[in-house]
Each structure stands twice: as C-alpha cells, then as structure tokens.
Amino acid sequence: MKSITVLITLITLLFPTLVTAKVWQQTFTVEYALGDGDSKTTARELALAQIKIKASNKAGSYIHTTSTLVNDQLSENIQVIGASMVMLSGIKEHLTTKRNRSTLIVTALARIDESELKRRVAAMQLDKAKAKQITQLTKDNELLSVELRTIRLLLAKKQSSSTEVASILKRQSTLLKRFEYNAAAVKRVFTQGTLFQMAQTSSAQLEQVKAQLETEFFGALMQTQVKAEIVSVIDNKTDFTALVNVSWTIPKNLSFNTLIKHLSGRNFNTSKLSKAEELTLNSNKNVGGKGKTTLSESLFNYLGEQHVYIEIKLGSKQFNVPLFWSRKGGSFSSCRGASSSYSDFIKSNGLLCLTLIQGNHKSLRGVDYKRDENPIKFKLTNKEVHTFTTIETKIVRG
C-alpha cells in the first residue's frame, strides 16, 4: 500500500494536471535574444512557435510513455499531431538585456486535449493513409525547423544591410506560415475524406517547395552584386547621352537543387549551369503531365508569376533590366532578344528566364530590341549632366 501511495505521489508531482483532468497543460518560458535584424514582433512570433514545439514534444513524450497504442517509430509523428492541438493562454512577455543583447522573455500556458490526442494517435495507427500523411508532414516540419535555424543565424549576423534583413524576414514569415499550414493540415487528416486529404497534402508539398526556394533560390538571387559604371558621356549639342555599362554574376550560394528536382530543361543540371550564362525553362517539358514530379506544373506556373529585376538609377532617370522573368513562348523558345512580360505568361506556352552572367558590353537579355544595348544609354539635359553624380543599383522583386 505504501509503494502505491509513493507512486501516486510521484505521478502527481511530475504530471499534476494529468491526474485530475483530461487536459494536459504546462507553463513554458522561452528567452529569445534579438539579432540586429529582429523586431519585438518577429521575436514574439518565434518565441510562441518555440513554446508550441516544446509543449508538443513534452506532451508527446507523456503519451508515448503512458499509452500502449504507440511505438518508437511513431513518437515524432505524435509530436506533430500534438503541435496542431496546442492552445496558448496567459501569454506574458518582457524585454530585458542579457550579455549586452536585447532579450525577449515570453511565458505562456500550453494546453492539449489529452483524450483527443490519444484518439488521433489510435486513428493514425489503424489507418495507413493517415499515418503516411502525418509522416510526410513530420518530414516537412523537420525541414522547416532546419531552415528556421538558418534564418536565426543570418539575423544574428552583424552589419546586415536593410535589403538583406528585409529578405531574411520575408523568408522567416513564410516559414512561420508554413508551420501554421502544416498544423491545419494535420487537423484535416482526422476530419476530411481521402480525396480532400490528398489535395491538401499536394498543396502542402507545393508550399514547402516554395519555402525552400525562398531560402535557397530567391533569397540568394536578391543578393546579386551588380556592377554599373559610367564609361562615357556624349555631347549631342542639344542634350547629352551617358553610357552606363552593367555586369553581374549570380551568387555562388544560389542553389538550383529544388528546381532541378522538379523541373526539366536543356542543360538543366548542376555541371552545365556552372558554365552557362543564361537559363531557359520551357513549358513543353514541364506541364501537361510531362514534368518530373506531380508538382512540376504547379511550380512552373508559380514561377511564371515571379519577377526579379535590377533597377539602375542615374539621378532621376531609371532603367530596369530583368534578372529572373517569364514570357509567352515564341517560335524559337528563347529568352534572348525578347522583352520580359510576365503579364502575358501562360503555363501552357511559356518560358522561364534567368540571366546567370551578364558580361561587359554584351547585349542585355529580356529587354526590347534596340534597347538591349550595353552600355545603356541615358538621355540627359544640360542641367542633369551637371547635377547627376552617382549611379545606383538595386535588386527588386515584383
């Protein structure tokens, strides 16, 4: 009798709320050191996300140790299911300084319906389709966590430019939304029909690929270093023409791995791309069931809506050069010598274009005929030629 009393006492001490109710709950505190690019709002979002992860891990461990329904292979899946059920309340926060860094301390009470969590775990074990979907969502969350840690390191870097910080924060926001999307997808697994689940799983996979591209492709592309210099100024008697030569090479850390996995194109592989100056992806190889994966067509269409260009400004005069763009397919299916016009892009007959290397004095791609000359011609008045002194470049995503 004494041993039973001791056991009950230990359980009460370790899991006080579980003895008296079917709701598991525990208070968690997270300390979040702000990087140079952080704001209190973004820090709070990440701190709450960390609390949800901690709560689901703790609740998952409890279910794993107290239920005969699970095994070691399902423990991570249980945590993902639990994360979709975490409810936070009593959120408190305060900003302080630790080790010369601003630190946000966030505390919240996390609650999970224990009986419902057990019901979903049992349903997953009995339904292979559910188990497969949850396993996929678990893998997605693992990838998201890795990317989120990478972003934390980037934000912690010193002397990041405002452009870099804005790009990193956008990637962070996308990842946090993906966690929320996966949580909603987990709930749907246990409430909707099979075909609907398949559709939602496919949509979740596409969103995951988009998040990966934000990190490894677009994030790097936005850091392209462009060299623009005035090589000559011509006096036309009535006005002046400034000749501006432009060149660039895309960053070495830009990765094509995700794109190569899902899309096809001529010479579209890592070894060929290292030597190429431009990339063209044609709809003929990526839509209408011809793509490498089930996501090929949707991804091709999504990329057709993206547009990254280089803004070159000489005083108040501006010239835009496409860096990544799309256009309607033509008879020669080439991006060279054709203007960018993503508003005319159609996935059934379209092109995706990227200039990898722009050499000095070489014609510009994606610019109208007769405007593709490099150096670029800027027409200036007599007043402008005496007042304009600097040339600026900026990477813009439209």
Say what the pLDDT of residue 41 is.
Answer: 83
pLDDT band at 75 (very low <50, low <70, confident <90, very high): low
As a whole number of angstroms, the distance between CA 28 and CA 24 comes to 13
Mean pLDDT of 344-372: 82
As a whole number of angstroms, the distance between CA 172 and CA 138 comes to 19
Count of C-beta atoms within a 10 Å radius of residue 13? 9
Phi and psi at residue 85, in whole multiples of 5°?
-115, -5
The secondary structure of residue 347, as a DSSP letter, is G
Q: Is the pLDDT of residue 73 over 70?
A: no
Mean pLDDT of 257-275: 86
pLDDT tens, position by position, 289-326: 888 998 999 999 999 999 999 999 999 999 999 999 98
pLDDT band at 275 (very low <50, low <70, confident <90, very high): confident
- Asked if 314 and 285 touch (Cβ cutoff 8 Å), the reply is no
- Asked if 95 and 102 touch (Cβ cutoff 8 Å), the reply is yes
Count of C-beta atoms within a 10 Å radius of residue 305? 12
Burial class for 172, CB neighbours closer than 10 Å (0-12, 13-18, 19+): buried
Question: For residues 39-66, b (16+ Cβ closer than 10 Å) or e, as one string?
Answer: eeebbbbbbbbbbbbbbbbbbbebbbee
Q: Of the candidates 37, 48, 152, which has an alpha carbon nearest to the alpha carbon of residue 93? A: 48
- Asked if 54 and 30 touch (Cβ cutoff 8 Å), the reply is yes
* Token pair in block for residue 221: 């592309």
Per-domain boundaries in the chain: 14-221, 225-397
Write 118-124 long-range contacts (CB < 8 A, 24+): 118/63, 118/67, 118/69, 120/81, 120/190, 121/63, 121/67, 121/69, 121/70, 121/74, 121/78, 121/81, 122/69, 123/190, 124/74, 124/77, 124/81
pLDDT band at 14 (very low <50, low <70, confident <90, very high): very low
State the Rg of the chain over Cα. 27
Phi-psi region of 99 (alpha: psi -120 to 50; beta: other; left: phi over 0): left
As a whole number of angstroms, the distance between CA 282 and CA 31 comes to 48
Say what the pLDDT of residue 378 is.
Answer: 95
Half-sphere exposure for 296 (CA within 13 Å, toward CB): 21
Say what the pLDDT of residue 63 is.
Answer: 65
- For the whole model, what pTM was predicted? 0.57
pLDDT tens, position by position, 229-261: 999 999 999 999 999 999 999 998 899 999 999
pLDDT band at 198 (very low <50, low <70, confident <90, very high): low
